[in-house]
Amino acid sequence: MLLKRLSEPNLPAHYAFADVLPLGNSLWIEWQWDAVRKLVNASVNKKGILMLNEVRKIPGWPEVNKKLSDEDGRREKIV
């Protein structure tokens, strides 16, 4: 279902693989999040999808995700 949503026109989406990182790095998550934020900002649809495959391999990923999600909530963006 999510892969179908990734192909929808006018819905910005970014897909990345965390399993290609030699060592887990939470900065990588922020880089991916920024990539989809740029797509959302350039879109008429102010919502987007970020899909990170194997993100659980990155230490501290839930905390980073919460921080970034909270930032976007304050900016009224949905990623």
Residues 31 and 52: beta-carbon distance below 8 Å: no
Span 3-55, pLDDT tens digits: 666 666 678 889 898 887 766 688 999 999 999 999 988 988 778 889 999 99
Question: 5-44 in b/e burial notation, b at 16+ Cβ within 10 A?
Answer: eeeeeeebbbebebeeeeebeeebbeebbeebbebbeeee
Global pTM value: 0.78
